A and B are shown apart, each in its own frame.
Chain A
Amino acid sequence: MEIVDARVALAPAISLLCGALVFAAADHTFWRRFWSLSAALAKLGIVMSMLPGSLRGVVYTFDLVEFTPGVGLAFRADSLGMFFSVVSSTLWLFTTVYAIGYMEREPNRRRFFGFFALCVSTTVGVAFAENLLTMFLFYETLTICTYPLVIHDETPEAMRAGRTYLAYTLTGGAFVLLGSIWTYQLAGTMTLSQPGILPLEAGRTTLTLLFVCLIAGFGVKAAIMPLHGWLPTAMVAPTPVSALLHAVAVVKVGAFGVLRTIYNVFGVGLLRELGVCDWLAALAATTIIAASVIAIFQDNFKRRLAFSTVSQLSYIVLGAALLSPLAATAAIVHIANQAFAKITMFFVAGSIQRTTGKTTIHELAGIGYRMPYTMGAFTVAALSFIGIPLFAGFVTKWYLSLGALESDRWIYALVMLGSALLNAAYWLPIIYTAFFKAPREEVPVQEAHWTMLGPTLACAAYVLLLGMTVSVPGMPFAMAQAAVTFVFGM
């Protein structure tokens, strides 16, 4: 059942308004915090108010503007979009609180919080995009809005990272635009509301090229190797930005775009016919393993997190590319699982940096004694990535492996196993260093400010919650299953 409802457009609009108000608040710290927090709450409220309806199967739509017939901006909140927007607006609230604490003494806070709000506006815009054009618009706007955040420190290194970031993502955006035009020309529509719109009559070569075009475009932000180069470089940004880039907004938008391309533009049936997804799955599996191996050798904390992100994102791509319902469930649900676990880790890295000034892993000896809660949260996230049952990451690995077996590709189940081992190989040493290597001198317990510790612990708790409530109705897993039911026509 479809209902026309302005809330779908209001959700992106409210962060846009918040961004404007933050810019207007100039240097008034109180008002900046007030607008940031109230917009985060308001947005979460709006998204959550649509959740009950969405779980009942209602789809909310809203047409914003039509340039010419069939070409316009429109919003539509189906299960997949709702899933993504719930995750991103929940995390925005946490990240906003954290950023207020983290950015306490930084310069240019107005610019930072203004663009921060715009980023989330665009992320929800992507989630609720009804057609490829709307999606492209928000996808590109996100690039533009994150650029000032990446170069926030304005050091030469940051400016260089900013340029790399723009070069990668804008090129990706151009591919997306090209793909959108092409899709419109072939299908006569760009809507994302159907389980596939392209006809097989368009020709295999054309469709394959179009698939490469769209996947390359979205794959830049989803950091599929070899398109991942921007991600580790962009680590120079302040930690809340890294958290936003790597867990919530940018990379997830890319992964979400891959999902939309596979499920709503091409459709599962057409892709089975074309066979291109085998190549995509192989590429994703390579990325999972290769990025993990690189991560082992990183000593800089945030760089290790970055390569872990590259590896984890390809879980989503792999899950989607296997074209089996179980793997698809894993792919969708991993958007949330990876987001909460990875944002916990970034929060931890930022807290350690702010409190102790340490940025490399070998410096962390005994940090577990100094910041026990923080490192406790880190341990929860690490165990989730390794895939221990009861933690969120286990759900992904379980369903992805089942999906691999379901589609007779047992090799990818082995990839999951290998990835679990590699994850253990690069997360456990950190935990070992933190808790079992004695600190050089006796230090008292010294946790970060509550605005930073609070979100960290909340996200860690969420990781546990996601792992333990798989069968509870109304939790993200149920929404993922609803989305899978639609795209597979079950």
Chain B
Amino acid sequence: MISWPPLLVLFVLTPLVGAVLTPAVSDATGRRSWEWAIGTMLLTSAMAGALIMRVLDEGPFSYVVGGWVAPYGIELHFDEFSASVAVVCLLGLLAVVFSRHYAPAALAPERIPYYYTLLLLNITGMIGFIVTGDLFNLYVFMEILSLSAYALVAISGEKTAEMAAFKYLVMGAVSSLSILFGVGLLYALTGSLNMADVTMRLAGSAKAPLVVAFAALTLGLMVKSALFPLHIWLPDAHAIAPSPVSAILSGLVVKVGILGMLRMYQIAYGSGAIDLSGLNLMLTWLGAISIVMGAFFAVFQDDIKMMLAYSTISNIGYIVMGLGLASSYSLIGATVHVFNHALIKATLFLGAGALIHQTGQRTLSGLAGVGRSMPFTTAAISIGAISIVGIPPTAGFLCKWYIALGALQAGQPLFAVALVFGALLIFVYYIRMVNAFYFRKPQDAGASAVHEAPATMLVPVLVLATLCLVMGVLGSLPLSFIEPAVARLLAPLGGG
């Protein structure tokens, strides 16, 4: 069963089919569509488990759809980086569970089935993006992901939500075009869309179009990952979307840009056709600026979800800085942070969603003193906050440790300084948040009369908070996946 080849295809198709069928199985209350989405996600997660077992057993493997080999057919590829589908499935499942009570409160009843459809489509796009071995497919899955994300931001139908979605759409569409242009150029240069094939054929191709192709790809991926100065769409979109969607957007969707860059590095380093050191330097600087700017803006926010959205910009900054430093430590740190940040940010957004759902307040002043009435949710958010600052022994620590070590390893101590003091700024606004929960008096009697969130909200939040702690203590577990993959990535450069 574990090595049954078509499983990889079914893995992508299951959430897709589930998504399309959701409105058909739904009833008036939207309850049935929730059950259907849960079932779909459970099945998908089980498949992810089987695939990860196989990659642990056998190492990377591929499946050629319909038996058509490169450069004609479509190939699905599963390697250690792809093990990240575990995080995707977990977050997807928890976001769906969380929506049980959240969606009816936030959305009109007739929109609920479409909400689950879009959520499942989004997960499909994410999974497809991770496992595809084909450049054009990469673009297609990215578009599935992006389009469903635009719609999810707008789904409440409020004016502000539509504006945020529109802003996101404009930026996103331009970036998609830029990526498509890059992919097209690579195809024109090599005559192939299969990534492994492209990597082999690139060596010796003309320099100038190659530079343009990589520049177009980078530009597009920078928008997708909201790297400074192309981040302006993110705060509104992530803050206004329904909280489970924010968790998915901040935890996973922005990471598409990062994973895309990793694929790009695999091609560039593997072929040796282009020298990316200039790009790396730029990414390192932009990453450092993102860290500081994101933290700086977050300090002045009063809206809790706005704060979390800016925090995402900082964390993307960490990851991109790690990629740009291009030393083995920093790459390991960056890649691990892609997943750990997903867990942490999902904890925070789902926790914030529970607070907003129960109290109807979303500002720090409105949430003052909520720690007394919702102790479990606020405790989980506090654990998330500690993690994202990077205090041991939580999930955020090892990544930042590795990125900082990587900066020193690359002989750039200045960036280690930026990292540590960025973390300090981040600490400041999370202290503000926790301070409001526990140490400020409630504004009115209403805030102290609220109750703890229902189990479908509380359980996902607590599961994620526990994972934040567990992944800190078991920090070497993701490293065992990442280290061989990073070593293979850097091998053509002579170790790195």
Residues in A lying within 8 Å of B, measured CB to CB: 65-68, 71, 73, 133, 137, 140, 144, 148, 151, 154, 166, 170-171, 173-174, 177-178, 181-182, 184-185
Contact = CB atoms under 8 A, between A and B. Distances in A.
B78 interface: no
B405 A171 contact: no
Contact of B476 (A67, A140, A154, A166): A67
B420 A148 contact: no
Contacts of B210: none
Interface in B457-496: 472-473, 475-476, 479
B334 to A, nearest CB: 16
A170 B392 contact: no
Most buried by A among B428, B439, B472: B439
B428 A137 contact: no
Interface in B381-439: 391-393, 397-398, 401, 404-405, 408-409, 413, 416-417, 420-421, 423-424, 427-428, 431, 439
Given A170-B428, A182-B416, A185-B408, A133 B398 contact: no
A47 to B, nearest CB: 24
Contacts of B427: 170
Contacts of A184: 405
Given A182-B413, A185-B405, 7 more contacts: A67-B392, A68-B476, A68-B479, A133-B392, A166-B428, A170-B428, A181-B420
A173 B389 CA distance: 13
A66 B479 CA distance: 13
A166 B431 contact: yes
B352 to A, nearest CB: 21
Interface of B: 391-393, 397-398, 401, 404-405, 408-409, 413, 416-417, 420-421, 423-424, 427-428, 431, 439, 472-473, 475-476, 479
A352 B421 CA distance: 43
B423 A174 contact: yes
A182 B392 contact: no
Nearest to A213: B417
Most buried by B among A173, A177, A184: A177
Contacts of A171: 424
A210 B476 CA distance: 28
Nearest to B423: A174
Contact of A140 (B391, B401, B479): B391
A73 B393 contact: yes
A202 B82 CA distance: 39
Most buried by A among B420, B423, B479: B420
The DSSP consensus for interface residues of chain B is helix
Contact of B473 (A67, A174, A178): A67
B405 A67 contact: no
Contacts of A166: 428, 431
B80 to A, nearest CB: 17
Contacts of A173: 424
Contacts of A151: 439
A125 B439 CA distance: 26
A67 B476 CA distance: 6
Contact of B408 (A137, A174, A182): A182
A75 to B, nearest CB: 14
Contacts of B392: 67, 73, 133, 137
Contacts of A174: 420-421, 423-424
Given A73-B392, A170-B428, A174-B423, A181 B404 contact: yes
Contacts of B405: 181, 184-185
Given A148-B439, A174-B420, A174-B423, A67 B393 contact: yes
B43 to A, nearest CB: 34
